[in-house]
Amino acid sequence: YGVNPAPPLSCKDTESLKNYWTYNIRTSLKNHLNPVWNIGFRGISDVPFWESFKDAPETDEKRARIIEQMLHRQIGVLKKETRTDDPEFRWTLYNENTSFVGDGLIDPPKEKNLIWVFVNDRRDHFPPESTRNFKIPDNQKYGYYYHFQFTSTGAHYAQAEGIWKMEKNLRMMDGIGKQPLSLVVFNVGNIREFLTEVSAG
């Protein structure tokens, strides 16, 4: 229908990536949305970027460096398009990001209103040890992205997680930093299995 095809995914084609981010930010602003903006760099279908970008490097150090560079590029685009030096935004530390930050391979951006959002362990509904032991700077805002359900594991037909587990998660995370949690995201999946947990949350 006369629409140009999307360019191939490439770590080097930062101009196309910037155009994509800019389009999405402008669309949100045009529709008068007021989000907590989300930055990050991953691949297709909830996987690390190196599974989707054919020119991705093969070492963790180089992969982490690309993620760090992309975060700074996104912050630049976001500040330009929102016309503010202090947008309210978050970076969700999905799987590989949690590992890279925990291993010291990514130096998270230092921004006044950037919330570092930690995620519960892969296929387990508790914060991983690396997160529980992470040294969050005293003035750093942070949050928690909590999966009630994983597609491949966990409850699917009956309630199984329990309010006690949700409370334990939030208390554990609220205690790892000097500040209280700034943001909590519940990934629910099918709501009927988690009615009491969502209500309590």
Is residue 131 scored above 80 in pLDDT?
yes
Over residues 126-147, mean pLDDT: 88
Over residues 100-104, mean pLDDT: 87
Is residue 198 scored above 70 in pLDDT?
yes
Is residue 105 scored above 90 in pLDDT?
yes
190's tokens: 């099918």
Give the pLDDT band of residue 74 (cuts 50, 70, 90): very high
Q: Return the amino acid letter for 175.
A: G
Q: What pLDDT, on the 0 to 100 scale, is given for residue 31?
A: 97
Whether the model pTM is above 0.85: yes
Asked if 41 and 69 touch (Cβ cutoff 8 Å), the reply is no
Q: What pLDDT, on the 0 to 100 scale, is given for residue 32?
A: 95
From CA 111, how far away is CA 188, in angstroms rounded? 29
From CA 117, how far away is CA 143, in angstroms rounded? 4
From CA 126, how far away is CA 146, in angstroms rounded? 8
Most confident of the following: 59-63, 121-125, 176-180: 59-63
What phi, psi does 89 have (nearest 5°)? -150, 170
Over residues 85-107, mean pLDDT: 90
From CA 80, how far away is CA 21, in angstroms rounded? 12
Over residues 112-130, mean pLDDT: 85
- Tell me which of 27 and 126 has the higher pLDDT: 27
Is residue 36 scored above 60 in pLDDT?
yes
- Tell me which of 81 and 162 has the higher pLDDT: 81
Over residues 143-164, mean pLDDT: 74
Buried b (16+ CB within 10 A) or exposed e, 113-127: ebbbbbbbbeeebeb
What phi, psi does 63 have (nearest 5°)? -65, -45
